[in-house]
Amino acid sequence: MPTTILLDCDPGHDDAIALFLAAGNPDIDLVAVTTVAGNQTLEKVTRNALAVATVAGLRDVPIAAGCDRPLVRTPETAVETHGESGLDGPVLPAPRLIADPRHGVDVIIDTARSHAPGEITLVATGALTNLALAVRLAPDIVDRVHEVVLMGGGTAGGNWTAAAEFNILIDPESAHIVFTAGWTVVMVGLDATHQALATPDVVERIAAVGTAPARFVVELLDFFGRSYLETQGFPHPPVHDPVAVARVIDAAIVPAERVPLTVELTGTHTLGMTLADRRGPAPADCRTFAATGVDTDRFWGLVVDALERIGDPV
């Protein structure tokens, strides 16, 4: 049976590819999408999610705007990486979908409560503000969610500061709430996602699909590659967010180790750091995991296969 997921995201180039992967993979049942401010403002990332869903041919999946700022901190965006629109590069189509009128946090709660315990997986590829507020408003959902698989953090340094990854850094208080809520958390961090590089041969494989969605992804990667080279010196851009979706599809593609994880909230130079405690075997009741790598060939195979299955939606 496909795994039922809700995708909480802030599109974002790599979020867009994560959305294509979730939409096109037969082992995923995407039942809702929620958006959160992060890569760009809430208004822009919600518009981007609706546009990407239009390109992907999604018609009946609710897409709802969530939180427009972190719990306590000043909003910060990644305009240097994702551009003024949050999805610079391709021409964004006029969305054929209308945003769900509910708040994204309510959609998370409603979705968790409307599925049997252990049936729904939450996949988060942006700041964790929506998930944190959902847990605070409805703590009963912790026992209903199978697991939370998130793109964020890392155990060997950051990308927005020397210590912290962007999604965790911009709302570390929310990350702390999510990591300590009591559900299973799989952190798909930079240790894995920095291996998922969109090399020229990968771009050629995607281009060879020959569909409008595939061309859209190629245009995404063209802009993303140039911005990553300019801002972080990567010759080929890492596509972080779809790696979290790949973990849900097949855990063997994105292996993870059980390890206690802590989010730093007060450090002068380490705010937002996700600290892995490897001093000994993880306690039996440890419910946090950190991804250790990614099988890049199989990962990109999933992305190409999803685009082929999506085809050319009308």
**Buried/exposed 104-141: b ≥16 CB within 10 Å, e otherwise:** bbbbbbbbbeebeeebbbbbbbbbbbbbbbbbeebeeb
Active-site option among 103, 194, 240, 269: 240
Please state, in angstroms and rounded to a whole number, the distance separating the CA atoms of residues 242 and 17. Answer: 6
Judge residue 233's burial from the number of C-beta atoms within 10 Å of its C-beta, 0-12 exposed, 13-18 middle, 19 or more buried: exposed
H/E stretch holding 276 reads strand 274-276
Whether 240 sits among the annotated catalytic residues: the reply is yes
Q: How many C-beta neighbours within 10 Å does residue 43 have?
A: 13
The torsion of the CA quartet 252, 258, 259, 265, rounded to 10 degrees, works out to 70
The residues annotated with a catalytic role in the active site are 240
